[in-house]
Amino acid sequence: MKKLLIASLTFFSSLCAADIAVIAHPATVDVSLDEVSRIYMGRAGSLMPVNLPEGHALRDQFEQEALGRSPAQMKAYWSRLVFTGKGRPPVEVDSVQAKIEFVASTPNSLGYVPASEVTDQVRVIATIAN
Amino acid sequence: MVSKIKQLSLGVLLACTASAAHADIRFNGFASIQGGSTLSSSDRLYGYDNEINFKNESLFALQTQADLGDRLSVTAQLMGRGSNDFNAEFEWAYLTYELTNQTRINAGRLRTPFYRYSDFMDVGYAYDWARVPSSVYNLDFNNLEGVSLVRFGQLGTVDSSLQFIVGSYNGTTNITPAPADLSIERVAGLTWELTQGNLSARLAYLTGKLTMVDQDGQLTGLLDMLSESGFADTASQISIDDARSTFMGLALGYDDGSMVFSGEVVRARVSNSVIPTQNGFYLSAGYRVNSFTPFVSFERRDNDSKAEIYQALAEGNPFKGAVAGLVEDFSIKRDTWNLGSRYDFHPSAALKVQFSSQKDKVADRRDQLLTVGIDLVF
């Protein structure tokens, strides 16, 4: 029964996988999705990425769709950089709302949010459609 | 010397953390708890025997990084290894200055970048195997005191990471048959790592001046006797004194999210010494299925001894036997198969099971080992 419930929830949530909007401070120029992925992997220092907490469904979806990696793979990836002084993971905020506020008030920052929750405080620079 | 550096590093760390009251200080850590046993009573491998041992490869590490502002930070990593009774030592302790977004300088005690996984070889969580392949990762002096410059960049669609490093090392080693005091002066090296999509490649080239003195004095005694008996040439071909050394490594990797391949080949030379050319490589393939990553890998170590050193001595030379014995101690030919799996059972922890079977072609023996372990990051 429990398994069935989990299975149906998974099915339901995959049906509901929302479009993701990559947002930036209004003064930021457009960047490609490739560049966004590079920034979130710590390979390009041009903009400051903002993340959601571990285990957040939208973060898992973004990492899978934009970076092509599961949460465990991302954790392993960052553990290769964190312990060697070669990089540090993006800063984290607690919620989508907090992220929009952070990006709106921080020049050169960017984040990802559900496309339906974008406000006019920020600019959409790319969209991951589902 | 080493303990002085430890005190110095601790001093720097404490001074920096104490004075920078407003510094942003963060802690990270990792741990491995690994237990294992060989499959039969005569087998010996990687420090294990036929008694189950949970200490040999277990380790705990705590890292602190203090951001001092204005692009300056200080990082120290304290690690306790089970093989050393969990006595904590500073594995890393360095200052970082970010020259630009893409260029940073690290100074202090650093990891010597011999191998692709050198930087995080102790962080088991970062890779799928139970341990890095010992046929390649066989140097037991992994750190140095020095300065490194890392530059990140892009060449078209290829990400590039270029590292220059200079420094020196003083310590002990077991790569010789008996423990030896080791110093490597004037270490200079270059590594270049390229990544494009699922593919990555890495080149490493390092040089240095190597001096080794065996602690039990057997080698030194033999060298003295050779010199006094008119065989100074032979002595100089054996002694490891300010010997020019080079290290080369090439690594390739592929990871598309489900298939994982990696391979690495290394060669090290120590000219004018008894140490022969050191050759090693491994190939590894894995396949991710949900939280499981089963893998298989093959490793080879192949060091031909410098037989010409004793072959040049006439038959009946009283030293020939001793010299031949010493030289042949450096002959190593080993093949190892590994079969295992990683299981990501928790967001911060992975369970690993690995079976290793090593054929030693010089000693003509096979040793088999089974280990089970958990790797964590926090």
Domain count, chain A: 1
Q: Would A103 be classed as within a structural domain?
A: yes
Q: What is the Cα–Cα distance from A100 to B271, expressed in whole angstroms?
A: 61
Q: Would A51 be classed as within a structural domain?
A: yes
pLDDT at B227 over 90: yes
Beta bridge partners of B2: none
Q: Would A2 be classed as within a structural domain?
A: no
pLDDT at B41 over 80: yes
Distances (CA, A) of A46 to A42, A100, B140: 10, 19, 38
Task: Check CB contact of B19 with chain A, cutoff 8 Å.
Answer: no
Please give the pLDDT value at position A9: 44
Mutate to test the interface with B, among A43, A78, A83 (most CBs of B within 10 A): A83
Q: Would A8 be classed as within a structural domain?
A: no
Please give the pLDDT value at position B240: 93
Please give the pLDDT value at position B22: 59
CATH number at residue A52: 3.40.190.10
Would the CB atoms of A72 and B75 count as touching at under 8 Å?
Answer: no
Q: Would A107 be classed as within a structural domain?
A: yes
Would the CB atoms of B30 and A83 count as touching at under 8 Å?
Answer: yes
How near does any CA of chain A get to the CA of B359, in Å? 31
- Amino acid A72 reads A
Would the CB atoms of B347 and A82 count as touching at under 8 Å?
Answer: no
Please give the pLDDT value at position B189: 97
Name the residue among B117, B197, B348 with its Cα closest to residue A76.
B348
Quickly tell me which residue has 């991951």 as its tokens. Answer: A128
Would the CB atoms of A75 and B154 count as touching at under 8 Å?
Answer: no
Look up residue B89 and give its two tokens. 């030592």
Could you report the per-residue pLDDT of A14-68, keeping only the tens digit for each? 445 689 999 999 888 888 888 898 899 888 777 899 999 999 999 999 999 999 8
Q: What is the Cα–Cα distance from B204 to B186, expressed in whole angstroms?
A: 17
The domains located in chain B, with CATH, are 2-377 (2.40.160.10)
pLDDT at A93 over 50: yes
Please give the pLDDT value at position A47: 87
Look up residue B374 and give its two tokens. 């958990």
Q: What is the Cα–Cα distance from A112 to A99, expressed in whole angstroms?
A: 8
pLDDT at B357 over 70: yes
Write out the residue range of the structural domain in which residue A109 sits. 18-128
Name the residue among B194, B149, B127 with its Cα closest to residue A86.
B149
For A:27-66, CB contacts with B below 8 A are 34, 38, 43-46, 54-55
Name the pLDDT band for B197 (thresholds 50, 70, 90): confident
User: What number of other Cβ atoms are within 10 A of residue B178's Cβ?
Assistant: 12
- Amino acid B225 reads M
Q: What is the Cα–Cα distance from B215 to B179, expressed in whole angstroms?
A: 6
Q: Measure CB to CB from residue A83 to each of B123, B150, B157 and give the nearest one.
A: B123
pLDDT at B12 over 50: no
For B:134-163, CB contacts with A below 8 A are 150, 152, 154, 157, 159, 161
Would the CB atoms of A44 and B154 count as touching at under 8 Å?
Answer: yes
Distances (CA, A) of B41 to B35, B148, B191, B334, B337: 17, 46, 43, 20, 20
Name the residue among B307, B310, B243, B252 with its Cα closest to residue B285.
B252
Phi, psi of B79 (to 5 degrees): -130, 140
Phi, psi of A53 (to 5 degrees): -65, 155
Q: Would A4 be classed as within a structural domain?
A: no
How near does any CA of chain A get to the CA of B76, in Å? 10
How near does any CA of chain B get to the CA of A71, in Å? 7
Q: What is the Cα–Cα distance from B345 to B328, expressed in whole angstroms?
A: 47
How near does any CA of chain A get to the CA of B205, in Å? 19
Please give the pLDDT value at position A96: 95
Give mean pLDDT, residues B281-306. Answer: 96
Q: What is the Cα–Cα distance from A65 to B24, expressed in whole angstroms?
A: 32
Please give the pLDDT value at position B43: 96
- CB-CB neighbors (< 8 A) of B91 in chain A: none
Distances (CA, A) of B230 to A129, B223, B313, B319, B326: 82, 11, 12, 11, 19
pLDDT at B85 over 60: yes
Look up residue B131 and give its two tokens. 């341990």
Name the residue among B94, B110, B98 with its Cα closest to residue B12.
B94
User: What number of other Cβ atoms are within 10 A of residue A18's Cβ?
Assistant: 16
B2-16, B101-115, B319-333: least confident range: B2-16
How near does any CA of chain B get to the CA of A119, in Å? 30
- For A9, residues 6+ apart whose C-beta sits below 8 A from its C-beta are none
Which pairing describes strands B349-360 and B365-377: parallel, antiparallel, or unpaired? antiparallel
pLDDT at A6 over 60: no
Q: Would A11 be classed as within a structural domain?
A: no
Give mean pLDDT, residues A102-123. Answer: 93
Q: Would A55 be classed as within a structural domain?
A: yes
pLDDT at A5 over 70: no
Could you report the per-residue pLDDT of B150-190, keeping only the tens digit for each? 998 888 889 999 999 999 999 988 766 678 899 999 999 99
Q: Which residue has the higher pLDDT, A14 or A84?
A: A84
Give mean pLDDT, residues B57-78. Answer: 93
Q: Measure CB to CB from residue A79 to each of B157, B347, B377 and give the nearest one.
A: B377
How many residues comprise chain A? 130
Could you report the per-residue pLDDT of B90-132, keeping only the tens digit for each? 989 999 999 987 899 999 999 999 999 999 999 999 999 999 9
Burial category of B26 from C-beta neighbours within 10 Å (exposed 0-12, middle 13-18, buried 19 and up): middle
Please give the pLDDT value at position B262: 97
Name the pLDDT band for A8 (thresholds 50, 70, 90): very low
